[in-house]
Structure 1
Amino acid sequence: MTVMVSPSALYYQRVEQGEVATDVHQLEALAALDQLWHRLSAEVDNDADAALGVYLWGSVGRGKTMLMDLFFEALPEGMGRRQHFHHFMRALHRELNTTFGVANPLQGIAARMAREVKVICFDEFFVSDIADAMLLGNLIQALFQEGCYLVATSNIPIFGLFQTQIQKDRFAPAIAVLESRLLSFHFAGDKDHRFRLPVNQPIFFTSEADFDDSVHALFDDQATLQGALTVNHRALPFIKVSESVLWCEFDDLCVSPRSAHDYIHLAQCYQCIIVSNIPELSSTPYEHIKARGTEDGALGSGQTGERQVSLGIHDDAVRRFISLVDECYDQRISMLFLADVALAELYTNGILLFEFQRTFSRISEMQTSGYIKKQQQH
């Protein structure tokens, strides 16, 4: 017989092992996750007014994802699904592209998901595209109607999920549903728990000599020098590649038009990705016309035309760099970087400062023994 262990029991195990330092905001959210876990584990669902999930939000490194992962680990096997939000939306668009002519396809997708799992866990919940916002709002309402529960992490409160002011009112009904049916917990404070672990080995270099020493140790005699891979039908030049390690220039990985799908593919193929010749990425935003849907992930949205956005000269590359680091972090991939400036000086001005805080924190965590341990468990 399988012994059920609650999220709080798993949490305090990690406290005793020195992996987690208790935090009042974490404990408040943990109590709500425990309550939801008990309801799901006992299959008690007779309170129509009870919350349908938990929403954990706050700045990077506050322990939101850690708590959600403990909750997911404690669930009975097969009861839940845990996905990075970007991956979920990618799969949703792909499934919608197979349902042309089907009446109310989102209701059918929600019914299928409800048959498969009882609770869905989203990491990095955020909506930036109105097409995604409308899809997501309708799907979440359908999932709640089907009896599913939701646990999500985000850097922003529910009311700020869709930050684009244009057409924001169209997402308002979904915001209202989320605010009324989820228990929301703000992880306040200025302590980044991911910075408390000791540094294992530097991964971000400004000295080419130190970088070369670290890179040399990663490649065996079978490595291939200078060539190109084919990634999603497009060439990706590389400096060096082996069975498990890929070394590319920043321009080839992030300045050239790559998509998040490319980074997903690379993180699935390699255990370590090296990025060299990263320039200082700060820049002053300017008004820029962009074709609607370009690299927005708006598959199946049917949107056309142009829109005006504010961008710095490096911001498209920064957005791709953020996506690359997010994917490698989520898949527990190792990374090495060679840049013209220190990490703290890499991006200090531009429209993506909010998003880049997460990138800074994740690159910093990749240097810790805790991240190495997560890699071994992945």
Structure 2
Amino acid sequence: MMKKMTKKMIGEHRVARRSFSTGPVAAAYKLKVDAGEVRRDNAQIALAAKFDALHESLASLPPVPVRADDPTQSNCKSSSPLLLARPMASAQSLLRKKLHLWSFGPPPRGMYIHGPVGVGKSFLMDLFYASVTGADDDSCCNNDSHSQKHATITKRRVHFHEFMLDVHHRIFVYNQKHPRSDAIPIIAHQLAQEAQLLCFDEFQVTDVADAMILKRLFLLLLDNNVVVVVTSNRPPDALYEGGINRSLFLPFIDMLKDTSDIISMEDSPKDYRLETRADGQSYFWSNKDVHGDNTSYNKIQAQLEEMFGGTASTTEAESIPVLFGRSVQVARLNDRCAWFDFCELCDQALGAADYISLCDRFSVLILDRVPQLDANRLNEARRFVTLIDACYESRTRLVLAAQVPLDELFVDFEAQVQSSDGDEELIVNDKGGNSSSFATTMIRTKEGEYYEWSATGLVGVSLAQLSSANDLAFSFRRAASRLVEMGGKEWGRQ
């Protein structure tokens, strides 16, 4: 009996050893498990092994091709370099591509990882990113050597919101100087020179302009030998689902599936963020009338005053610069903290660029009078989710004073198109929106009754917003999960 048990134990030990690959990502993950920082998860172990395989293949990554027709380069002296250099550049590019294939082979396939919130997608991607040795600054854009494999490569890890802002800003700046030229090939080459490994977190497509840019940009990045790693809550086939002119975006989805390993973590429904102890005093709520005289609300305000710093505040407003020459105004602030009402940040026409600038300026943001968010507040909810993402990525502490508990902050809803007698209707369960000019918007109440909601004076869902509405409903779960993690006592930056 003892002999059999010993063999069994040896067998289990061998299985346990085989369950971890020997690469740097799996090794880093094992250290986290052994230290008790994370719980061992089979899906995460499998993903770590795939990252290790990609890590090994990066050693044969071809260099970025040299582009002779970039008018932004200082050595371009012609007033119209795009027009003059294109024939020669095309021939040189073809020759270089052949030489690269002979010397290095094709670039490694990218990775597209999708699954529910909190299952470890971003966590494993960050372990992989940290394991890749970055090139020195002096060699970031030096791609003249084709005879040696890269010991180091340039890399960039970025939230998808921030990446698209960067791309739009580059297009804006380029078009100011070259209004008749095509900016996308130049920008793709610039991005490739800056980073041969691009890691995107929270990849999503809700805007037709982004959809059209991405289709071309990603193809050009691949032509420049850039490896792309993506995490997303949606599988590729669900990207931009229901969006305007989606048929024009479908080739991008096909390209993603052809050039990337699609990895699903849909069978890992556990949200590990919810195990975080939210003891960092970042979420307060009172269900009383905030304008009335009630003890709960007054106590919360006193706590916020203490966190803000009391008499350390300044009475002078500050204008925070934002991309594209804009600015966002902050009325109540001190050196480390800014205090807003919900309506100041989420009822106004603000976006990711504004929130990122605020996070760059302040380590703590206080947001007061946060309402319950549902399909009746789509625009405000979308901005609020974007604000949470910006704070999460920058590790900015977000302190919320809300009118409902955290588990009631986001109300689930589902938007769908239904056809009846040739007419298309947008149905929003429980809550509603406004009519588009091409369809009737019907609202279904909790009692099951239907009625038409006019577009006049109401902000909400239209048929053209179907994709972004459903994406927002999906994003609610990610935002709620992140708020729990961000409520941890150790969350934030110094």
TM-score class normalised by the smaller sequence:
0.7 to 0.9
The 1:226–1:29 alpha-carbon spacing in structure 2 relative to 1, beyond 3 Å, is: same
Match of 1:368 in 2: 488
Give secondary structure in 2 for the equivalent of 1:69.
helix
| Match 1:270 to one of 354, 362, 370 | 362
Correspondence 1:157 to 2:235: yes
Correspondence 1:341 to 2:420: no
Alignment of structure 1 residues 161-180 onto 2, 5 Å: 161-180=239-258
Question: Offset at 1:64?
Answer: 0.7
Give secondary structure in 2 for the equivalent of 1:247.
strand
Match of 2:318 in 1: 229
Give secondary structure in 2 for the equivalent of 1:218.
helix
The structure richer in strand per residue is 1
CA–CA distance in structure 2, aligned partners of residues 349 and 184 of structure 1 = 28
Alignment of structure 1 residues 286-301 onto 2, 5 Å: none
Q: Is the 8 A contact 2:281 2:487 kept in 1?
A: yes
Alignment of structure 1 residues 10-89 onto 2, 5 Å: 10-41=28-59, 43=61, 46-48=104-106, 51-78=108-135, 79-89=154-164
Match of 2:334 in 1: 242
CA–CA distance in structure 2, aligned partners of residues 345 and 71 of structure 1 = 35
TM-score (norm: length of structure 1): 0.83
**Higher relative CO (CA 8 A, sep ≥ 6), structure 1 or 2?**
1
Q: How many residues align?
A: 340
Question: Offset at 1:236?
Answer: 3.6
CA–CA distance in structure 2, aligned partners of residues 167 and 246 of structure 1 = 40
1:241-260 CA-partner distances (Å, limit 9, x unpaired): 21101111111111122232
Letter of the 1:94 partner, please give it: H
The 1:241–1:5 alpha-carbon spacing in structure 2 relative to 1, beyond 3 Å, is: farther
CA–CA distance in structure 1, aligned partners of residues 341 and 24 of structure 2 = 45
Q: Structure 2: any 5+ residue segments left out of the alignment? A: 1-21, 63-102, 136-153, 287-296, 414-468
CA–CA distance in structure 2, aligned partners of residues 368 and 216 of structure 1 = 20
Overall identity of the aligned pairs, in % = 30
How large is the Cα RMSD of the aligned pairs? 2.4
CA–CA distance in structure 2, aligned partners of residues 370 and 201 of structure 1 = 7
Q: Structure 1: any 5+ residue segments left out of the alignment? A: 284-311
The 1:41–1:74 alpha-carbon spacing in structure 2 relative to 1, beyond 3 Å, is: farther
TM-score (norm: length of structure 2): 0.64
Match of 1:309 in 2: none
Give secondary structure in 2 for the equivalent of 1:321.
helix
Match of 2:395 in 1: 332
Instruction: Report runs of 4+ in structure 1 exceeding 6 Å deviation.
Output: none
Q: Compare CA radii of gyration and give the structure with the larger one.
A: 2
CA–CA distance in structure 2, aligned partners of residues 114 and 63 of structure 1 = 27
Q: Is the 8 A contact 1:197 1:370 kept in 2?
A: no
Question: Offset at 1:220?
Answer: 3.4
| Match 2:169 to one of 86, 94, 109 | 94
Give secondary structure in 1 for the equivalent of 2:112.
strand
CA–CA distance in structure 1, aligned partners of residues 235 and 105 of structure 2 = 26
Q: Is the 8 A contact 1:126 1:162 kept in 2?
A: yes
Question: Offset at 1:94?
Answer: 1.4
Match of 2:304 in 1: 215
CA–CA distance in structure 2, aligned partners of residues 370 and 103 of structure 1 = 49
